[in-house]
Chain A
Amino acid sequence: MTEHTQNRHPCLPGGLIPLDQWRVPETSVRRTLRSALRDILDQLKAGIHPDDQAFKSLDDLPALSEYQLSRYAPVPDGKVFGRELVSQLESLDKNGGQSRRCRVLVAPPYSGVAEALRCSGKRVIVPPENLLMTESEIVAWWDDQLGEAGWVIPELADFWIRHRLGLGLVRELLARVAMDQVGEGIVGCSSWCWHFWGQFLPDLYLAPLTPGPLTADRLSLWLEHLAGDPPAGKLVARMTRDGSYVLPAPSGEEGDRKYSEFARDLATLSRGNPGVALAIWRRTLRARPEEDADKKDDGTPVPVGRQCWVAPLDQLSLPAVPQSSTSQSGHIIHALLLHNGLTAGQLALAAGLSGQALRVALARLQRADVVVVGEDGVYQVSPLAYPGVRRYLQSKGYPVDGF
């Protein structure tokens, strides 16, 4: 019996692993210390430079155009990812790694699992309009939804609200899953939501699976896979600082080609989270090489195919949560992460705020590029701000996920 998958598609380079086997990508002691020191300095500096909030690049090289970004670092294809997830789950079932008919997939925000499950071809269960149902209504609703096997819940966080009256739907579902009283199905769940429910129902053992973390090697392979391999050849990405290579991913046959530590640093900064890594990666890509970086001996430029340049991570300033003497910002971003995005009305309920205070705090977080609002009116924490947001919440004592 095995509990992790062997054959790995580049869209899921870490495969599926049991949740308790997930580890943060390794980093050096020096980088850990530097990061901790920078975090403390950022807190001390807060208020000294009040305008220094939003993202900015500290280099003056032009960023890639939207067209180039869509070619070099596109958003992953949910259908391919969804098919791969289902295929890997089926492969686990064949190998006898399945003890329940329902599988639980836990993944950090922006991992793309929810979108992939929506495109998996299975019957998608959507949450009801009213999340504050009575106990009898909840039982009837689940009886109705789970009657037919082959269902999928892309995001469990959509089925509850952090309010004492908003816990019933998930409590009932998880109890049924634990007792194996649901048909064959897949439950996707964000890591923050799962963390809450793991503490709320500590005796629940559902053996969740999660995509393996993107270590430096896997991250290089994944970014290379995203860029594709058209007739023009693989994407070549080199550091603007010293010309060392980031892509193509090291294959062991690159001779004396010098590789940068960028992939390792990016894997560490993003904590192996593909969505965060991709958002930062897109921000670091540059169109113009440093002068004379790539010329022949006679000074003529080397003809390039698909080539771009990568700004070092220390030249990027990622969005940070604006300092405040109140805890409103913390409550808002914590509620947004718990629920993987909320409308203003839901946010008021989950964060215990309402009216003007909520609108003012949201506007401030939006100005700082920490929170973004979609066309559907759903507020979310921006993936670029996520590393800083997670550190902020941790430093303020909020419960944070294990990812």
Chain B
Amino acid sequence: MGDFGIKDALSSITSQALLEALAVIIAASLVILLVQKLLPVLAAKLSGKPRLYLLASVPLVRLLVIVLTIIVVIPILVEPSFENMVAVFGALALALGFAFKDYANSLIAGIVTLYEMPYRPGDWIEVNGRYGEVRAIGTRAAEIVTLDDTVIVIPHSLLWNTLLANGNDGTDNLMCVAEVFLEPNHNVDRMLGLFRDAVFTCPLTKTYQPVVVTVSALEAGMRYRLKAYPLAPREQSRFISELTASASEICGEEGVRMVSNPYLGA
């Protein structure tokens, strides 16, 4: 029993069985590849909820294909008796436990990700100071694309002990905040009203979601925060730019000076 019966289990493998298993694995890989390429392309043509659902289905379909492949391949290679199964999975557990501990950690976290869904493709997340849209969820890691079009690979294992911020959490509602810092001693009520008008009349604003303008007094000046939802999360940069430009125009018209570097006095 020194080899846990693994030798017996594997002794029945023939070259034909190996070829069959290989064919199944190749076919499954092709299906996964197709799903990973095709569904995001189709999703890009859609908008709103259908897009998010289609993107979220990619990792689920892949997991399903992997599980089905294992179920099909093992009986091809070994006789599916209780002893053989214990032997195969025992050997697999040992290998994962010692040789690929970190990899297995990420794999398990990846499965938990699919179940708990802390992030899905299409979500805008921030992990360890990196912010971007989840482009793909792989078996071991997720890929996010930042606003500057940089791809960042985040291992799922970070899920266990890292704070993760999700901006839209599976929906297409993403609150954006445009900040402006103004010199004090101006009519705050009037500025609040004018900024609210600017947010409401921006063509990119989802007016059916909350529109909030807040003000707080900081050492360096008055900080106004214009909070609203853009039509689509992907419009966030443009949306914030337009709100900031409008706010700047209003300040010019009202004769209220903006603070150029508010953090100098902090």
Residues of A within 8 A of B (CB): 40, 43-44, 46-47, 162-164, 166-167, 196, 199-200, 323, 327, 330-331, 334-335, 350-352, 394-399
Closest beta carbon of chain A to B147's beta carbon, Å: 17
With A44-B45, A164-B194, A199-B208 in contact, do A331 and B203 touch (Cβ < 8 Å)?
Answer: yes
Q: Let me know if B33 is at the binding interface, CB within 8 A.
A: no
Do residues B203 and A399 form an inter-chain contact, with CB atoms below 8 A?
no
Is B133 interfacial (CB-CB < 8 Å)?
no
CA distance A351 to B203 in the complex (A): 6
Give the CA-CA distance A200 to B211 in the complex, in Å.
9
Nearest CB in chain B: distance from A16 CB, A: 26
Q: Are B46 and A167 in contact (CB under 8 A)?
A: no
CA separation between A255 and B194, bound complex, in Å?
A: 66
Given the known A-B contacts A43-B45, A44-B45, A396-B47, are A167 and B197 also in contact in the complex, defined by CB atoms under 8 Å?
A: yes
Is B45 a contact partner of A397 (Cβ separation < 8 A)? no
A399's partner among B201, B206, B246 (CB-CB below 8 A) is B206
Q: Which residue in chain A gives the minimum CB-CB distance to B250?
A: A164
Q: When the two chains form their complex, are residues A167 and B201 in contact, meaning their CB atoms are under 8 A apart?
A: yes
- Neighbouring B residues of A394 by C-beta, 8 Å: 48
Q: Which A residues lie within 8 Å of B203 (CB)?
A: 162, 331, 334-335, 350-352
A397 in contact with B232 (CB, 8 Å): yes
- Pair A46/B48 contact, Cβ less than 8 Å: no
Q: Do A396 and B45 contact each other (CB < 8 Å), given the known contacts A40-B50, A196-B207, A352-B202?
A: no
B48, B194, B197, B202: residue with the most chain A Cβ atoms closer than 10 Å: B197
Min CB–CB distance A133 → chain B (angstroms):
15
- Identify which of residues 8-37 in chain B touch chain A, using a CB-to-CB cut-off of 8 Å: none
> Which chain A residues border B201 with CB–CB below 8 Å?
162-164, 166-167
In the bound complex, CA of A396 to CA of B206 (Å): 10
- With a cutoff of 8 Å between Cβ atoms, the chain A residues found around residue B42 in the complex are 44
Q: Give the distance in Å from the alpha carbon of A43 to the alpha carbon of B206 in the complex.
A: 22
B79 to chain A, nearest CB (A): 46
* C-alpha gap A164/B203 in the complex (Å): 11
In whole angstroms, how far apart are the Cα atoms of A166 and B197 in the complex? Answer: 10
Whether the Cβ atoms of A397 and B231 lie closer than 8 Å is yes
Q: Please, which residue of chain B has its CB at the minimum distance from the CB of A36? A: B50
Distance in Å: Cβ of A344 to nearest Cβ of chain B: 16
Closest to B253 in A: A165
- A43 & B231 in contact (Cβ 8 Å cutoff): no
B137 at the binding interface (Cβ < 8 Å): no
Task: Give the residues in chain B near A196, CB-CB below 8 Å.
Answer: 207
Which residue in A162, A350, A397, A399 is a CB contact (below 8 Å) of B47?
A397
B172 adjacent to chain A (CB < 8 Å): yes
Pairwise interchain contact A327-B50, C-beta atoms closer than 8 A: no
CB distance from A192 to the nearest CB of B (A): 11
Contact A164 B198 (CB under 8 A): yes
A398 and B231 contact, Cβ closer than 8 Å, known pairs A40-B46, A351-B203 = yes
Given contacts A164-B197, A167-B201, A199-B208, contact A396 B232 (CB under 8 A): yes
Is B179 an interface residue, CB under 8 A from the partner?
A: no
Contacts of A46 in B (CB 8 A): 45
For B213-251 the 0/1 string (1 means CB < 8 A from A) is 000000000000000000110010000001000100010
Residues of chain B contacted by A399 (CB below 8 angstroms) = 206-208
Q: State in angstroms the CA–CA spacing of A40 and B48 once bound together.
A: 11
Q: Are A47 and B48 in contact (CB under 8 A)?
A: no
In the complex, which residue of chain B has the Cβ closest to the Cβ of A397?
Answer: B231
Task: Confirm or deny: B200 has a beta carbon within 8 angstroms of a beta carbon on chain A.
Answer: yes
Query: When chains A and B are docked, how far (Å) is the Cα of A197 from the Cα of B34?
Result: 47
In the complex, what residues of A have CB within 8 A of residue B232's CB?
396-397
Bound: A167/B203 CA distance, A: 14
How far is it, in angstroms, between the C-alpha of A36 and the C-alpha of B206 when the chains are bound?
23
Residues on the B chain within 8 Å of A163, using CB: 201
Name the A residues within 8 Å of B197 (CB-CB): 164, 167
Residues of chain B lying within 8 A (CB to CB) of residue A331: 203
Residue of B nearest to A350 (CB): B203
> In the complex where A40-B46, A395-B48, A397-B47 touch, is A164 in contact with B246 (Cβ < 8 A)?
yes
CB distance from A33 to the nearest CB of B (A): 14
* Bound CA span A352–B249, Å: 14
Using Cβ atoms and an 8 Å threshold, which residues of chain A touch B207? 196, 199-200, 399
Name the B residues within 8 Å of A398 (CB-CB): 206, 231
A46 to B47 alpha-carbon distance, docked (Å): 13
